[in-house]
């Protein structure tokens, strides 16, 4: 079958090529148009104070990327999703299918979009998702900082108790001051002895040797006491430094949580009906194109079937005509032979 033959067949069945795509497109359009109206709401999270600042949680060249990734992961996680579903009486499957979280260009701003049949639910859902996501991201930092502060405070109390127990054991409120006082006493005795010697009072100077030796012996006993006392006070000082650090971290985390207040950085647009025009034209065009191709295939198949049915009768008729032609030719030859016989007899007789 040549292309010209196919084009002729297509023109004979032009009604099929036109009607099938038209009916298919109308059916697809009807299916879309009878669907209930869908509504959509969008919340925009604009967190300039949460990303890139010197005290921000997300800093550096990757701060924006890290914030957006963390927001998307948290918003799609079970903690936020289950809470949003419970607050707004929607199913988690609807949230999975109809909730979208996207970055706005290369900025740290994020859009949260939800689509549903119920117009009254779409805006509360995006507000809940935004608020709960921000809370989950930044309240955990406050909780962690508070936990570190509590531990550091407990360490200070423990170190202070250890210092108190040791000073009670050695019966010294401040071993360092006691050591300095004993050292001053030794120095004073030595100076007094030197003065006596300089004044020519050798006997009195010699008598000072015993008190000086006793004072030095008492001073030597302070060595291990001071070692342990200094170790305990250093541990207490380190615990106090950790408290100060934890307090600063808690203040920063609290500041970030305050900066993440949804009332300050989340902006929700009113709910609106979803425009189905683009979807309608896209689906109708796809269905019509598929139906057009199907119609062309049907025309080809019908033409092949039609040619197959007409080929057999035509072949039988041609064979019958050939037989009749051969029979007629033989008959004509026989007639010519019969007609020529009488004419030849008188000719031979004349000779």
What's the pLDDT tens digit per position in 260-295? 999 999 999 988 887 667 777 888 889 889 988 888
Q: Clarify whether residues 250 and 161 are in a common domain.
A: yes
Q: Clarify whether residues 283 and 200 are in a common domain.
A: no
Q: Clarify whether residues 158 and 205 are in a common domain.
A: yes
Residue 164 resides in a domain: yes
Q: Clarify whether residues 321 and 224 are in a common domain.
A: no
pLDDT (average), residues 204-228: 88
Task: Give Cβ neighbours of residue 152 (< 8 Å, ≥ 6 apart).
Answer: 239, 242, 243, 245, 246
Name the band, by pLDDT with cuts 50, 70 and 90, for residue 69.
very high
Residue 229 resides in a domain: yes
The answer on pLDDT for 256 being more than 80 is yes
Residue 208 resides in a domain: yes
Nearest-angstrom CA–CA distance, 205 and 250: 64
**Could you identify the residue written with the tokens 């918003």?**
75
Residue 78 resides in a domain: no
Residue 290 resides in a domain: yes
Domain boundary, last residue among 230, 259, 288: 259
Please, are residues 117 and 37 in contact by the beta-carbon 8 Å criterion? yes
Q: Clarify whether residues 206 and 280 are in a common domain.
A: no
**Could you identify the residue written with the tokens 């934890």?**
246
Residue 106 resides in a domain: no
Q: Clarify whether residues 193 and 253 are in a common domain.
A: yes
Q: Clarify whether residues 250 and 172 are in a common domain.
A: yes
Residue 187 resides in a domain: yes
- For 143-192, how does the pLDDT look when each residue is reduced to its tens digit (9 = 90+)? 999 999 999 999 999 999 999 999 999 888 888 898 899 899 989 999 98
Q: Clarify whether residues 192 and 166 are in a common domain.
A: yes
pTM of the model: 0.61
**Could you identify the residue written with the tokens 């041609």?**
318
Q: Clarify whether residues 175 and 255 are in a common domain.
A: yes
Name the band, by pLDDT with cuts 50, 70 and 90, for residue 305.
confident
295 exposure class (CB count in 10 Å sphere: 0-12, 13-18, 19+): buried
Q: Clarify whether residues 170 and 235 are in a common domain.
A: yes
Nearest-angstrom CA–CA distance, 198 and 331: 180
The answer on pLDDT for 314 being more than 50 is no
- For 73-120, how does the pLDDT look when each residue is reduced to its tens digit (9 = 90+)? 999 999 999 999 999 999 999 898 999 999 998 888 999 999 998 889
Residue 298 lies in domain: 1-35+276-329
Number of structural domains in the chain: 2
Q: Clarify whether residues 204 and 247 are in a common domain.
A: yes
Please, are residues 130 and 266 in contact by the beta-carbon 8 Å criterion? yes
């Amino acid at each position: 079958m040549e292309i010209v033959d196919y084009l002729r067949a297509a023109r004979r069945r032009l009604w099929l090529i036109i009607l099938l795509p038209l009916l298919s497109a109308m059916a697809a359009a009807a299916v879309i148009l009878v669907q209930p109206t869908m509504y959509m709401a969008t919340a925009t999270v604009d967190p300039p104070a949460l990303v890139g600042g010197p005290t921000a949680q997300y800093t550096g060249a990757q701060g924006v990327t890290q914030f957006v990734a963390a927001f998307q992961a948290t918003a799609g996680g079970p903690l936020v999703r289950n809470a949003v579903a419970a607050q707004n009486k929607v199913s988690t499957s609807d949230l999975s299918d109809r909730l979208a979280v996207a970055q706005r260009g290369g900025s740290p701003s994020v859009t949260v979009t939800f689509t549903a049949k119920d117009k009254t639910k779409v805006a509360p859902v995006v507000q809940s998702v935004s608020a709960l996501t921000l809370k989950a991201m930044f309240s955990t930092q406050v909780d962690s900082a508070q936990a570190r502060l509590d531990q550091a405070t407990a360490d200070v109390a423990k170190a202070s108790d250890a210092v108190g127990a040791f000073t009670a054991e050695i019966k010294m409120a401040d071993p360092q001051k006691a050591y300095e006082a004993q050292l001053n006493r030794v120095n004073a005795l030595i100076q007094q002895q030197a003065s006596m010697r300089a004044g020519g009072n050798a006997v009195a100077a010699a008598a000072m040797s015993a008190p000086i030796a006793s004072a030095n012996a008492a001073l030597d006993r302070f060595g291990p006491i001071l070692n342990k006392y200094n170790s305990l006070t250093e541990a207490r000082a380190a615990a106090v430094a950790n408290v100060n650090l934890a307090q600063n971290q808690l203040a920063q985390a609290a500041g970030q949580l305050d900066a993440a207040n949804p009332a300050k950085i989340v902006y929700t647009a009113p709910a609106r009906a979803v425009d189905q025009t683009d979807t309608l034209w896209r689906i109708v065009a796809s269905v019509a194109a598929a139906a057009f191709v199907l119609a062309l295939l049907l025309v080809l198949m019908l033409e092949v079937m039609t040619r197959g049915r007409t080929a057999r009768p035509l072949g039988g008729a041609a064979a019958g005509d050939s037989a009749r032609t051969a029979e007629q030719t033989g008959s004509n030859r026989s007639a010519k032979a019969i007609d020529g016989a009488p004419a030849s007899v008188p000719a031979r007789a004349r000779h």
